[in-house]
Every structure is written in structure tokens, then in C-alpha cells.
Structure 1
Amino acid sequence: MDSKMSESLTVDAEKQHQQTLPVDAEKRQLAGAEKTPSVHPSTKTVVGSDKSKFQDAFRVELDASDDPKQLPPLRKWIIIIVISTSALCTAFASSCASFTEEGIARDLHVVREVGILSISLFVEGLGLGPLITGPLSEVYGRNIIYRVSYFLFFVFTWPVAFPPNIATFLVFRFITGFCSSAFLSVAGGSVSDLFENRKVASPMAVYTISPFLGPVIGPIVSGFICQNANWRWVYRVLLIWQFAMLSLLIVIVPETYEPVLLKAKAVKLRKTSGDDRYWAPLDRREKSLSRSILESIYVPFQLILYDRMALLLDVWTALLLGILYLAFQAFPIIFEGNHGFSMQETGLSFIGIGVGMVIAVACQPLWNRFNARMREKHNGHPPPETGLIVGQVGGILAPIGLFWLAFTTYPGVPWIVPIIASVPFGAGIVFIFTSVFTYLVVAYRPIAASAMASNSALRSTFAAVFPLFAGQMYDRLGTVGATALLAGLTTLMAPLPFVYYRIGHRLRQRSRFAVKT
């Protein structure tokens, strides 16, 4: 999900660069030429008077027969559902370990805190993986990245499901997180590949909810399995799901990335026509793959170090994701300790967060209409700060939900009340993430992919660290004090979208990375 919007912007820019002259103009320019280049009938061309423009006559472009946007609507939706379910499985794998710590500690002979590392290491892998998969996808396309990464995700889960010792278990948890990260970084771009801008909102909403619902579904399933079977069955069920998704990815999902499709078409034309002058933009790629990977690694950290606006927004989303993953340790303390819930009942307590997330995504049509009014008001070019308005709503909802949750964790309060309190927190998470992602992509358009990568790396680090100190914090402060502390931290960050909405334009003028308009 992290680079879907930046990839969409990149594709749109390439399309603008590939505009062609009218057919009649081409005919007039070619009239009287002593030698006319042999151009394949399915290839659109741009012909000029100088040598470089003459060479553009062999630059290939997509037509209706090979453009992914021209696929039948039913097939496009099937592709989106397969990709979204694969992303859901990846996010599920991050949190399904939430009820396995006791079994790991018992069977692999470690303390419970070591078992918690199974979540932390997987999430850290999710954060670091996009630094590699992003540049690779720009060269080799989305489809090969999907298939290879999911195959490795499936293969390396076997040592997790059948671990001989704790070291093997933890190492492969990190590796599986790293390998599966493509579906939280590259997959969103497939949505923009398949749908035009005016139709992309609904399929993008379907994909967007998947990485958020996954961490909520994980403890629900894990709680039922761990109470009624051995903890290893959590990962065996994951293996079955992975195999099903890998099969569907291979059979159903085609390549949709336009630069790679153009390169394949150029290769085919060179082979069928015997003319080596046909070319695609990737054939003349100036930047090497190694340089792209190095930039993918160091530019995001430059952004964090030198741009305070991006840093604070990244910290805001990192704090929220850290709290969400801390809940996997806090909810058992709250509901098992104070309300006597069983393991599977505690897993079901996460439904409140999931309901809030679904409600937030269901509000997307309202935000689409609001954004349309903003475009009309600003002649089609609203400032990036308009994207922060949805974050203002989320910034209010998240602290309200956490404070409500904090002061209803007493044993005397009915158990349904704190679960209802988690609904606005779940909605606030989606609103805030949507707002920050949109702002980073638009405000830092020249380095949008790096802006999203820096956000991914920082929030994954918070999500990896927060569960490690949850038990000690709740033991020392109690359920009310610890949850109220988290609510207070989100309250301190809540003014960010309001402040940046007012002064964001001035801050962008002084930024080394942001757009100035």
C-alpha cells in the first residue's frame, strides 16, 4: 500500500511524455521522404525532422489490445481481489503470532518476551523490504515481483511452522516479513495500472482496507487456534492460505506495469519484423539498477533527517501503528485479566478496531465528493494541504477512542464498552494514514517513492518495538494509566494536520525536497 499513489503518479507522467502527433500530421511530415521507416501497424509513432525525432518513429506504445485498462471489468475486479487478498494474508501473518508466545516459550524453551520477537521481527522485515522491491519492480515489473516474493514467503514459512529451535524460528520470521513486503509496497500500483483515474477510487478502497484488516484478523484466528490446538497450527493454516494465493497469482494476475509491457512489445516487434530500431523507454534506462537501489536506501533517510515536516508526519503514523501492534499484548491484559475472557474471546475483542476501519473506508465516497469540490475550487490544482483535512478528523477520533478505552478498562465496566471504544480508534487510524500518505505523495512528488519508503521504515520500527515493552508498561501503570498514556501521546500529535494545513505552504517553500507550488 505504501507506494501505490506514487507509482500511479509516475505512470501518469510517463503517459504525458508519450503523447503522439495526430495521424494527419504524421502523413504530412512523411510525404516526400525518400525513405520511410517500416513501422508496425499496431505501433503509434512520433516523427520529427531531426535524428532524435526520426528515431522516435520506432518508440513503441500500448494500444487497445495490450493496454491493461482495456481488460473486461470483471477480470480487472478479479485481479484486484486476488492482489488484495494476498496483501491481507501478508498483514495477517504479521499479527497471527499474537497468541503463540506462550506455546513458543514452552516448546522452544525461552522466556515469553523472546516469543514476542516473532511479531517484531516480521514487522521490521515488512518495513525494510520495500527498499529493495520498489526499485526491482521498476525494472522487472510487478508480476515477477509478486510471484517470486510470494513463493519465497511460502517456502520460508515452513521453518517457522516446523522450527527446530528458537533461532531458526526468529530468523525466518524476519525473512518472511522481508519477502512478503511487496504486497504492501508494490501492489497498490496495480490498481492504478488497471483503472482510469475517474474509476480508481472504489478498487483502491478495496485494496487499501486489506493491510489494515489483516492485523485485526490475525489475533482473531490465532486465538481460536491456540486455545483448541497446538500453536504450530497457526502457521500451518498460514501455509495453506499462502499456497492458495500463490496459485491464484500465477494463474490469474498478469503483468500490468506499462514500462515493462512496452519493453516486451519492443522485443516482440524486433523479433517479428527483423528491425532492431524498435525500442521502449526501459531499453534506454539511464539509471542502473544498483544506483536505484542505493537511492532507495539513502534518500528516505535523508528526508527524515533534513525535513522536519515529513519527519513529524512519519512519527505520527509510526506512533499509531506502534499502538495498534502494542494492542496485541495489551488486549489480553485488559480482557483476560479484568473480564476473565478466554484466549479466543480475547481474539474476538479486536473486532471493534476492525469495525472502525471498515466504517472509515465506507466513508470514502464522501471524501471523493469533497476532493472533487476542492479541485473545482482551485481550478483542478488544489494545494497538497487539502489532503490533510481527513487527517484532522482522524486526529480527533484516535485520542477519543483511546481515552474512552482507558477509562472503561475497570472490571466493573461491561466488557462491551471498551470494545465499542476501540471503534473510533480504528476509524482514526485509517483516516490518518490515508491523509498522510496522500500528502507525502503530492507534497513530495519528485521523490514520492522515497517519501513513502521513509514512512514505511519508521512506522515499521515503531510497530516492532512497541510490543516489547507493553507488558512492563501495563504492569507498572495499570490498564488505565498505560492506555491513557498512549492516548496522551496521540493527543500531542493531533494538532499536526491543523498546523500544516495553515502553514504547510510556507514550510514547503523552505524544504529541500517538497514541491514549491
Structure 2
Amino acid sequence: MESEKSKGLQDITLDKIESQSQKIRKEQGQICYSAIPKNRRLLILTVITLGGFLGPLSGNIYIPILPLLSKVFAVSQTVMNGTVSIFMIGFAFFPLFWASMADFGGRKNLYIISLLFFLLANILIIVVPQNIGALYVLRLLQSFGASSVTTLGIGTVVDLVEPKHRGKSIALFMLGPQLGPVIGPILSLSASKGNWRWPFGILLIIGGLVYLMILFFVPETLRYLVGNGEIYGGKNWVILPKLYQKKVVDDPRYVKPPKPGIKVYYKLIKYPPVLLCSITSALLFACFYALSVSFSSILESQYDFSTTQVCLSYLCLGGSLIIGSLLSGRFTDRYYRKKSQSEAGYVPEDRLVVQLFGFISSLVGLICYGWMVQIKSHVALIYVFSFLSGIGMTWVFVICNTYLAESIEGAPATPIAIANALRNVAAAIASFIIYKLEQELGYGWCFTGLGLLNVINIILLISLCVWGRKWRSNFTK
């Protein structure tokens, strides 16, 4: 009893010290970036990371069973690949619908609304009679619901995490999307006996659990509305859901975001840092997605892999994304702190220099992957070079998202939604034409061409590093 009392007194003392330190910072004109306790922030970030997992999981639980679905629905491989493309097109454009509203009116309400559509789509796929047209429509609805969380989640990270730790935090958030290619193929084994509806049942169960956690554990975090979160001080971590959060702070430090509308996107698309960064990540993602889509058919046709072996092989791609993401986030934050302490100081473009490694890794991985498939080398080499390509892609993505979040003060979700749109349009096109390119050019020259797109990326990277600071300065005037 005495130890419990002393522990309680210690907690009260620590709370008083923290409260006094915040009071002193306020008197000095300073304020902590986020007043939400660290453990609660960690819980919020964990929940939104799980939410960010739903969209990529929906895509990657599906890709390994494309040959099975083609037989079940009695359609060609190209027609069935169209269901991948329609999902990616939805994943490209629907975040534009969500993002500017999230930067203006709040995050929480859009989490609640959008994920309802995701759950509904999975229910309907399970119960609607087998029909290829219905599958196209419901895959589009599925992407509408799941696509919001990636852009909303980055916005939540920016709300809660100060810049010196942001790269690592964005990398951790991206573990959700990166886990899709790891766990998705494993869960797709539920369809190995021919029951193609099981993967969608799994998506419904996981999505339902994530939805409940967002409802009761994730508060509104948009800084323009709730500031640094001091309003949540001393309150229960379990909250009652509500669809509207009124503005409760009046502080000029929390920049008013632009009103949602087409004009916002038009202005940002013309803004070179957003446009060029989005183009580089789009080209990179298209190349990797082309590899990912062709991966299953190559292993099945050239190496006689079973459905189970194909699904497990996707662990290689997923593992590369996780490792690349974690390494990139930690490296770019360390680089940030080093530049911040230098005489010249830090500017957001300093992070971009580190992307060079990712582009080179992707270039080498894609070209070597294509030629190893062409000559039917040992499957271990296919794994090695696809792994190298994945490392390069996710390395660039973490830095790209961090840079975009810092480029537009007060509205991080909107530029990320634009980048997401270009990425997924490029991926949709790549998934639709990759088989044709492989047939016309052969695997070697096809992936050599894709790999050399990274030369364009490196040129655009140099442009951003040289002129990015000037472009940002002109934009804010």
C-alpha cells in the first residue's frame, strides 16, 4: 500500500513539474509542440497506422489470387487485371476528395465516414452473386473507403510530431501501408482451396476492429481546431465519437488552412516542389507496381510455383518495403538534426539529397530483375533484385512524404493527396499494360526501360535540391 501511495505521489509530482514547465514555456512565448502525453500519442499513431494498413492490404491480399479469380470468373488475365487498375484509380483520386476537407474541417469525422464505405464494400462482395461487373463496382467502392486513411494519417502524424522526429514517425506510420505486401499474400492463402470470398471476409473483420479503435481512441488532432491538444489534458483516453469538432483555440501560431475546393489543388499542382516530388514518386511506384503485378505470373509460369508458394514469395517484396521505410526514416531524421545544428541551418530540401540512394537502388534492382527473369536464372536472384527495387521505392517515399508535409504549412494532407493521385494513376496504368510490354519487349528490355526512368527521377531531384528553396519562398509570399 505504501509503495502504491508513493508511486501515486510521484505521478502527481511529475504532472505538476510538467504543468509548471509548460506554464514557463507559455510565459516565454513558447509552447510544446504537442501537449498530448507521449503514451497517448503512441496509441493514436498505432491506431492510424493500422488504418493506413487497410487500403494496401485490400490491394495485396488480392494480387496473388488473380490467376484463380481469372478462372473463377471465366475472364482473361487482362480483364481481371482491370479490377486491380480500377482499385488503383480509385485509390488515386478519392484522397483528393478527402484531403482538403481534412485540412480544413478536421480528421476524425472523415475517418469515421470513409471507413464505413470500406466495410460496406466488403460486405457486398461477400454476399452479392458472382459477377465481374459487380466486382469492378465494389472494388471501386472499397478503394473509396480505404483511400482516405493514408492522407489523413500523414496529417495526424504532422499534427502530433515535431519536425526533428517526423521522418521516423512517418516511416513508422508507413509501416501500415508497407505491411500490406507482407501480410496480404499470407492472408490470401485463405483462398487457396478455391473460396475466393474468404479474403474479403478477413478484410471486413480487420476493418471493423480498426473502425472501433478509431471511434473510441482517436481524438480530433487538426492543430487549427484544437491547437497542441492541451484540451485533452487529464481527460479519459476513451472518447465518445462525434462527427463535428468546433474550433477551441485562437492562436495565430496555428495557421488557418485553405478552404477546400478545386482552386487549392490547381494552385498546388502548379507549385514545383509538389509537382516534381509527385512525379518522381509516381514513376517509381509505377515501376515497382509493374514488378509486383507480374511477380505472381512469372513465378507460376516460369518456376511452376503453387498458389501457396506464390503468396509466400510476396514476403520478399513486403520485407523490402518495411526495411527500407524504417532505415530511411531514421536516416533522414538524423540528417535533419545534423543540418539544424550547422551554421547554415535546415531547410526542407536538405532531406531530399538522401533520396539519391533510393533511385539508384531501384534502377539497379529493376534492370537486373528483368534480365534474371529473361534468362530464367535461379529464383533466389529474382528475390534479391526485387528486394533491392522495393528498398529503393520505400526509401524515396518516406522522404517524399516528409518533404511534402513540410512544404505547405498548415495543410499537410492536401499535397500528399496530390502525390498519392499521381502515384496510383501511374500504378494503374502500369498494372494494365505490363503484360503487353513483357510480351512485346521481353522481360529484360521491359524492366530495363522501367529502371531507366530513375534517370529522369534523379534529374528532377537535382532540380528540387537547387531551386526548391526559391520556389517555396515565392509560393509563400
1:346-387 Cα deviation digits (max 9, x unpaired): 22222233232232233233332221111122454x233212
Instruction: For 2:230 and 2:44, locate their aligned partners in 1 and report how far apart those are by CA, in whole Å.
Output: 21
SS in 1 for 2:159: helix
1:303, 1:310 within 8 Å by CA — same for their partners in 2?
A: yes
Structure 1 residue runs without a partner (length 5+): 1-18, 24-45, 47-62, 266-277
Residue pairs, 1:183-222, within 5 angstroms:
183-198=149-164, 200=166, 202-222=168-188
Instruction: For 1:21 and 1:264, locate their aligned partners in 2 and report how far apart those are by CA, in whole Å.
Output: 12
Instruction: For 1:441 and 1:248, locate their aligned partners in 2 and report how far apart those are by CA, in whole Å.
Output: 25
Which residue number in structure 1 is paired with residue 259 of structure 2?
292
Instruction: For 2:149 and 2:200, locate their aligned partners in 1 and report how far apart those are by CA, in whole Å.
Output: 19
Moved over 6 A (4+): 262-265
**Deviation of the 1:103 alpha carbon:** 4.2
| 1:377–1:196 CA distance, 2 compared to 1 (3 A) | closer
1:391, 1:434 within 8 Å by CA — same for their partners in 2?
A: no
Question: AA paired with 1:349?
Answer: S
Which residue number in structure 2 is paired with residue 124 of structure 1?
89
Instruction: For 2:292 and 2:383, locate their aligned partners in 1 and report how far apart those are by CA, in whole Å.
Output: 14
| 1:374–1:345 CA distance, 2 compared to 1 (3 A) | same
Instruction: For 1:179 and 1:298, locate their aligned partners in 2 and report how far apart those are by CA, in whole Å.
Output: 24
Which residue number in structure 2 is paired with residue 180 of structure 1?
146
1:62-104 Cα deviation digits (max 9, x unpaired): x99xx97333x33332322222112112211123221343444
Q: Of residues 383, 388, 391 in structure 2, which corresponds to 1:419? A: 383
Q: What number of residue pairs does the alignment pair up?
A: 435
Instruction: For 1:213 and 1:112, locate their aligned partners in 2 and report how far apart those are by CA, in whole Å.
Output: 26
| 1:249–1:442 CA distance, 2 compared to 1 (3 A) | closer
Which residue number in structure 1 is paired with residue 61 of structure 2?
96
Instruction: For 1:127 and 1:372, locate their aligned partners in 2 and report how far apart those are by CA, in whole Å.
Output: 33
2:178, 2:322 within 8 Å by CA — same for their partners in 1?
A: no
| 1:492–1:142 CA distance, 2 compared to 1 (3 A) | closer
2:290, 2:427 within 8 Å by CA — same for their partners in 1?
A: yes
Root mean square deviation of aligned Cα = 3.6
Which residue number in structure 1 is paired with residue 123 of structure 2?
158
Instruction: For 1:136 and 1:408, locate their aligned partners in 2 and report how far apart those are by CA, in whole Å.
Output: 46
Moved more, 495-504 or 318-327: 495-504
Q: Say if 2:287 is the partner of 1:323.
A: yes
Q: Of residues 169, 187, 192 in structure 1, which corresponds to 2:135? A: 169
| 1:84–1:460 CA distance, 2 compared to 1 (3 A) | same
2:104, 2:260 within 8 Å by CA — same for their partners in 1?
A: no
| 1:483–1:22 CA distance, 2 compared to 1 (3 A) | closer
Question: AA paired with 1:96?
Answer: I
Instruction: For 1:506 and 1:264, locate their aligned partners in 2 and report how far apart those are by CA, in whole Å.
Output: 36
Residue pairs, 1:54-73, within 5 angstroms:
69-71=35-37, 73=38
TM-score normalised by structure 2 residue count: 0.80
How many percent of aligned residue pairs carry the same amino acid? 24
Which residue number in structure 2 is paired with residue 455 of structure 1?
419
Q: Say if 2:106 is the partner of 1:141.
A: yes
Instruction: For 1:307 and 1:192, locate their aligned partners in 2 and report how far apart those are by CA, in whole Å.
Output: 21
Q: Say if 2:351 is the partner of 1:387.
A: yes
Instruction: For 1:330 and 1:471, locate their aligned partners in 2 and report how far apart those are by CA, in whole Å.
Output: 7
1:99, 1:226 within 8 Å by CA — same for their partners in 2?
A: no
SS in 2 for 1:494: helix
| 1:195–1:459 CA distance, 2 compared to 1 (3 A) | closer
1:334, 1:479 within 8 Å by CA — same for their partners in 2?
A: no
Instruction: For 2:423 and 2:281, locate their aligned partners in 1 and report how far apart those are by CA, in whole Å.
Output: 6
Q: Of residues 202, 226, 234 in structure 1, which corresponds to 2:199? A: 234
Q: Of residues 344, 353, 356 in structure 1, which corresponds to 2:320? A: 356
SS in 1 for 2:125: helix
Instruction: For 2:202 and 2:295, locate their aligned partners in 1 and report how far apart those are by CA, in whole Å.
Output: 23
| 1:502–1:279 CA distance, 2 compared to 1 (3 A) | closer
Which residue number in structure 2 is paired with residue 81 of structure 1?
46
| 1:152–1:279 CA distance, 2 compared to 1 (3 A) | closer
Instruction: For 2:350 and 2:230, locate their aligned partners in 1 and report how far apart those are by CA, in whole Å.
Output: 40
TM-score normalised by structure 1 residue count: 0.74
SS in 2 for 1:497: helix
**Deviation of the 1:177 alpha carbon:** 0.8
Higher RCO, 1 vs 2 (CA within 8 Å, ≥6 residues apart): 2
**Deviation of the 1:391 alpha carbon:** 1.1
1:157, 1:176 within 8 Å by CA — same for their partners in 2?
A: yes
1:251-306 Cα deviation digits (max 9, x unpaired): 332333344447997xxxxxxxxxxxx9846899xxx99x9332xx34334543x4
Q: Of residues 251, 254, 259 in structure 1, which corresponds to 2:219? A: 254
| 1:461–1:390 CA distance, 2 compared to 1 (3 A) | same
| 1:308–1:248 CA distance, 2 compared to 1 (3 A) | closer
2:181, 2:318 within 8 Å by CA — same for their partners in 1?
A: no
Q: Say if 2:466 is the partner of 1:502.
A: yes
Question: AA paired with 2:393?
Answer: I
Moved more, 443-452 or 120-129: 443-452
1:1-45 Cα deviation digits (max 9, x unpaired): xxxxxxxxxxxxxxxxxx99859xxxxxxxxxxxxxxxxxxxxxx
Structure 2 residue runs without a partner (length 5+): 1-23, 232-245
Which residue number in structure 2 is paired with residue 311 of structure 1?
275
Q: Of residues 381, 393, 396 in structure 2, which corresponds to 1:429? A: 393
